[in-house]
């Protein structure tokens, strides 16, 4: 057991609980109350300090490609539609640990296939540190990854293969879900002789709304096409990137889609797509379901600079620290359908937490003193 004493707990919506204890047991938050008495093996004095839920990245491929070996095991580009692929087959714990996510307050993320194929395979929700690859995994198939961007038609169009155009991309994606729906109906018939098809089986959890389709879409017409797909098949869609969401948010909201705003540290995206972040903050307050993505499905860093630069940029355009914290925690958990596991400081949730002397989303020179995953200290900063 681990006991955190006298911390100031940050809850969704900006709620703050002063001077609370948190008892962690068997990887979970077992109890929250003032002055808990328990024989804990580890006690952290958090008096006057702030305790937060661990940050969650919705989409990140780190751990599925090798910086040192220059492998790209997150990208399978032989076909445009490969939903049957499983990203966990490419997981390398060495690459996860090299990133030092826990120093940046990141405790979990959606391990994702890359950005070059239409339906790229299943995503997994994993912890950012652990003793072995198996122990990293929180949910093995948390979402299906898709891409509806220039990168896809650029890759396949270069070799004169479909999809060469945006209409080709939509046709192939739409046809995959249509065929999977027909496959499902046929398989459900008594005495069905329909043969097992791994591609269609991988799409069924999306059609049953058990997991979302997390899909890259950057510009207005890409975003609107994915909202159309969500309505047509009644599926849960999380639009990742969404740099022009300010131009079509009403349609996205009407379709019930959620948005994971792209990495703002890649500022050339904002410039190229003329993103209006002030308008996005307004839309969030009007009900747009928004989380904040930092790094994604391409090689690059995803630590402190990426996360807190994005947070600072949104705040410059009007977001409050509490709103940005929700975008990095509970909103992401809800988008991926895992809010019963992570994302808040709540009894029964996994004890993924970080502790600071101050709020790093108010003052960006504040750093984590402790980061916990499943109630175990995985990072401790030496404080003078």
Residue 296 has pLDDT above 90, yes or no: no
Tokens standing for residue 79: 């076909």
Q: Is the dihedral of CA 226, 203, 118, 80 positive or negative?
A: negative
Quick one: pLDDT at residue 328?
A: 97
State mean pLDDT over 79-89.
97
Pure H helices in 188-303: 198-207, 220-233, 249-254, 267-273, 277-285
- Take residue 328 and report the two structure tokens written for it: 């990095």
By C-alpha distance, which of 380, 334, 375 is closest to 2? Answer: 375
% the chain with pLDDT above 90: 78
**Residues in Cβ contact with 139 at an 8 Å cutoff, skipping those fewer than 6 apart:** 124, 125, 338, 341
* Residue 163: closest CA among 149, 174, 152: 152
Rounded to 5 degrees, what are φ and ψ at 41?
Answer: -75, -25
How many CB atoms lie under 10 A from the CB of residue 281?
21
Output the pLDDT for position 266: 67
Cα(312)–Cα(277) distance, integer angstroms: 12
Contact 142, 211 (CB under 8 A): yes
Q: What is the pLDDT of residues 120-134, one digit of tens each?
A: 999 999 999 999 999
Model confidence, pTM = 0.95
Encode burial over 97-116: b for 16+ CB neighbours within 10 A, e otherwise.
eebebbbbbbbbbbbbbbbb
- Beta pairing, strands 137-147 & 213-217: parallel
For tokens 């328990």, the residue is 38
Beta-strand pair 55-60/106-111:
parallel
Which contacts qualify for 357-360: CB closer than 8 Å, 24 or more apart?
A: 357/48, 357/49, 357/50, 357/383, 358/50, 359/10, 359/50, 359/321, 360/105, 360/308
Distance in angstroms (rounded) separating the CA atoms of residues 290 and 252:
11
- C-alpha 228/C-alpha 112 separation (Å) is 23
Mean pLDDT of 330-356: 98
What does the alpha-carbon distance between residue 47 and residue 19 come to, in Å, rounded to a whole number? 7
Q: What is the pLDDT of residue 298?
A: 67
Reported as a single tens digit per residue, the pLDDT across 55-82 is 999 999 999 976 666 678 899 999 999 9
**Is 42 in a helix, a strand, or coil?**
strand
- Res. 308 pLDDT band, cuts 50 70 90: confident
Is residue 384 pLDDT above 50, yes or no? no
164-182 pLDDT per residue, tens: 999 999 999 999 999 999 9
Residues composing the chain: 384
| C-beta neighbour count of 365 within 10 angstroms | 7
pLDDT digit string (tens) for 217-253? 999 999 999 999 999 999 999 999 999 999 999 999 9
Cα–Cα distance, 116 to 57 (Å, whole number): 20
pLDDT at 241: 93
Model confidence at 269: pLDDT above 80: no
In the structure encoding, which two tokens stand for residue 78, read together?
């032989």
- Tell me the mean pLDDT in the region 154-169: 90
How many angstroms separate the CA atoms of 84 and 66, rounded?
Answer: 22
Residue 379 corresponds to which tokens in the numbers above? 């990072």
Kindly state the average pLDDT of the residues 185-195: 83
Cα dihedral 205, 241, 59, 201 in deg (nearest 10): 20
Residue by residue, DSSP assigns 168-201 as: HHHHHHHHHHHHHHHHHHHHTSTT--PPP-HHHH
Q: How many CA atoms lie within 13 A of 205 on its CB side?
A: 19
| pLDDT 10s digits, 34-50 | 999 988 899 999 999 99
Separation of alpha carbons 304 and 318, rounded Å: 21
């Amino acid at each position: 057991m681990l006991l955190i004493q006298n911390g100031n707990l940050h809850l969704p919506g900006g709620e703050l609980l002063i001077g609370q204890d948190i008892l962690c047991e068997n990887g979970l938050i077992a109890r929250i109350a003032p002055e808990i008495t328990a024989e804990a093996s580890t006690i952290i004095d958090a008096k006057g300090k702030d305790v937060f839920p661990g940050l969650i990245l919705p989409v990140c491929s780190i751990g599925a490609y090798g910086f040192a070996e220059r492998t790209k095991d997150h990208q399978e580009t032989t076909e445009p539609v490969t939903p049957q692929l499983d990203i966990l087959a490419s997981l390398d714990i060495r690459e996860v640990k090299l990133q030092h996510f826990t120093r940046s307050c990141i405790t979990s993320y959606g391990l994702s296939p890359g950005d070059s194929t239409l339906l790229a395979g299943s995503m997994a929700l994993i912890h950012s540190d652990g003793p072995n690859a198996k122990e990293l995994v929180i949910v093995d198939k948390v979402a299906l990854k898709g891409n509806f961007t220039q990168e896809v038609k650029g890759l396949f169009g270069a070799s004169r293969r479909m999809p060469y155009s945006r209409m080709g991309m939509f046709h192939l994606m739409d046809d995959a879900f249509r065929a999977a729906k027909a496959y499902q109906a046929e398989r459900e018939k008594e005495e069905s002789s329909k043969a097992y098809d791994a591609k269609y089986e991988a799409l069924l959890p999306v059609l049953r709304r058990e997991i979302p389709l997390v899909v890259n879409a950057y510009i207005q017409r890409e975003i609107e096409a994915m909202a159309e797909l969500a309505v047509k098949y009644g599926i849960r869609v999380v639009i990742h990137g969404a740099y022009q969401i300010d131009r079509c948010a009403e349609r996205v909201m009407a379709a019930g889609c959620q948005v994971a705003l792209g990495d703002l540290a890649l500022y050339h995206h904002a410039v190229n797509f003329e993103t209006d972040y002030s308008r996005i903050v307004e839309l969030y307050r009007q009900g747009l379901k928004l989380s904040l993505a930092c790094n994604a499905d391409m090689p690059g860093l995803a630590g402190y600079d990426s996360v807190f630069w994005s947070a600072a940029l949104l705040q410059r355009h009007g977001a409050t620290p509490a709103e940005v914290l929700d975008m990095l925690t509970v909103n992401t958990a809800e988008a991926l359908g895992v809010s019963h596991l992570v994302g808040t400081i709540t009894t029964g949730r996994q004890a993924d937490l970080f502790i600071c002397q101050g709020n790093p989303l108010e003052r960006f020179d504040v750093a984590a003193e402790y980061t916990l995953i499943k109630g175990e200290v995985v990072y401790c900063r030496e404080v003078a």
